[in-house]
């Protein structure tokens, strides 16, 4: 009997250690990557470079937070990059062409994001159509509208009080995009961990039939989830537009991939129902640090795309094993 108990105890310890590595492995890898990068180049751990990495990661993190919520439900949103471009074009046009105030233009842009997300969520949940198909279609539609608005041309000449959102600093040196990202991360974390809505999202990802039997309104919950995801993408689009000092209908082609990669690296299951939303933040930081380190040591941007794809495939393989 004693030997049997010992065997069971060792097995439990093995399971616990495996679960721990799956949950915090990306954080350990991020720390190792930072240490390795600092040894390879003395330029990496400078204050200026660290701020640059955080600024670069902030837009990806904003989108990844919303993407993480959607993926936890078992869905996906491929339209976030096109939506960011659409929002950037409209906020720029509202300021320069329609002569709206900066505040009103931003509110209008965020409203577009929410409506866009509600449309995605309604079609997906009401008609039970694959999220990949619907968001692939709306991705194309959003990009098309962004191109049509100004005949594919960039919109420039934005005022300083708008570009300050993407280029300014607060509290003596914190980039505003980083501050917005931190505030958004706190809000999404609170929603996912402290509210019934967050529990509903996990329940839906765990099994829609069971969630329905538990009394969860699937249509309403999914619409709200996709609306929040699109709102996050819209915020990122406004910030990115302010940083570039122009509305560009061609931006965002890789936003969805970066966000999905961040979510997967952060340990959120692509099958839905499990994972911590802050894992997406760590995953996005890992991608940003990796890209920055490769830039510093002179690796071609083309090879960086290959490396990013390999990292995503490895992460997907690891977490698919956890599902099985």
Our measurement of the distance from residue 28's CA atom to the centroid of its chain's CA atoms, rounded to an integer in Å, reads: 20
pTM over 0.75: yes
CATH number for 194: 1.10.3470
Q: Which domain holds residue 289?
A: 43-323
At residue 238, the 3 state secondary structure works out as helix
**Residues 6+ positions from 117 with CB-CB distance below 8 Å:** 223, 226, 227, 228, 229, 230, 231
In a domain, 183, yes or no: yes
In a domain, 207, yes or no: yes
In a domain, 140, yes or no: yes
In a domain, 281, yes or no: yes
What are the residues facing 174 on neighbouring strands? Answer: 170
In a domain, 111, yes or no: yes
Instruction: State the residue for tokens 């829609």.
Output: 208
The structural domain count of the chain equals 1
In a domain, 199, yes or no: yes
What are the residues facing 155 on neighbouring strands? Answer: 247
How would you write the pLDDT of the chain (324 residues) with one tens digit per residue?
444 334 344 444 444 555 555 567 788 888 998 998 888 888 888 988 999 999 999 999 999 999 999 999 999 999 999 999 999 999 999 999 999 999 999 999 999 999 999 999 999 999 999 999 999 999 999 999 999 999 999 999 999 999 999 999 998 889 999 999 999 999 999 999 999 999 999 999 999 999 999 999 999 999 999 999 999 999 999 999 999 999 999 999 989 999 999 999 998 988 899 899 999 999 999 999 998 988 888 888 888 888 878 877 887 777 665 555
Give just the sign of the alpha carbon dihedral 187, 193, 199, 203.
positive
In a domain, 67, yes or no: yes
Residue 90 structure tokens: 């409209």
The Cα 184–Cα 278 span in angstroms is: 11
Q: DSSP state, 182? A: H
Give just the sign of the alpha carbon dihedral 180, 183, 186, 188.
negative
In a domain, 228, yes or no: yes
């Amino acid at each position: 009997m004693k030997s049997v108990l010992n065997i069971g105890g060792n097995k439990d310890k093995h399971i616990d250690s495996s679960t721990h590595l799956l949950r915090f492995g990306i954080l350990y890898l991020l720390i190792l990557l930072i240490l390795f990068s600092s040894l390879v180049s003395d330029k990496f751990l400078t204050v200026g470079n660290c701020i640059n990495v955080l600024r670069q990661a902030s837009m990806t993190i904003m989108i990844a937070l919303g993407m993480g919520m959607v993926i936890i439900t078992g869905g996906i949103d491929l339209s976030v990059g096109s939506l960011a471009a659409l929002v950037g074009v409209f906020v720029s046009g509202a300021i320069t062409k329609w002569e709206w105030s900066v505040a009103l233009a931003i509110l209008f842009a965020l409203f577009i994001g929410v409506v866009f997300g509600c449309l995605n969520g309604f079609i997906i949940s009401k008609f039970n159509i694959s999220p990949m198909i619907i968001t692939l279609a709306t991705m194309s539609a959003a990009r098309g509208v962004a191109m049509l608005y100004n005949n594919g041309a960039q919109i420039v000449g934005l005022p300083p009080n708008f570009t300050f959102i993407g280029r300014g600093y607060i509290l003596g040196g914190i980039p505003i995009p980083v501050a917005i990202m931190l505030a958004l991360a706190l809000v999404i974390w609170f929603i996912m961990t402290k509210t019934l809505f967050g529990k509903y999202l996990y329940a839906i990802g765990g099994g829609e039939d069971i969630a329905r039997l538990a009394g969860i309104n699937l249509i309403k919950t999914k619409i709200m989830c996709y609306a929040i995801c699109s709102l996050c993408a819209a915020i990122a689009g406004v910030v990115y537009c302010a940083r570039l000092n122009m509305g560009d209908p061609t931006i965002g082609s890789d936003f969805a991939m970066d966000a999905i990669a961040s979510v997967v690296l952060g340990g959120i299951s692509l099958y839905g129902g499990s994972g911590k939303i802050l894992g997406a933040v760590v995953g996005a930081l890992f991608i940003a640090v990796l890209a920055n380190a490769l830039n510093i040591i002179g690796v071609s941007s083309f090879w960086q795309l290959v490396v990013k794809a390999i990292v995503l495939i490895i992460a997907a393989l690891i977490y698919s094993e956890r599902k099985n």
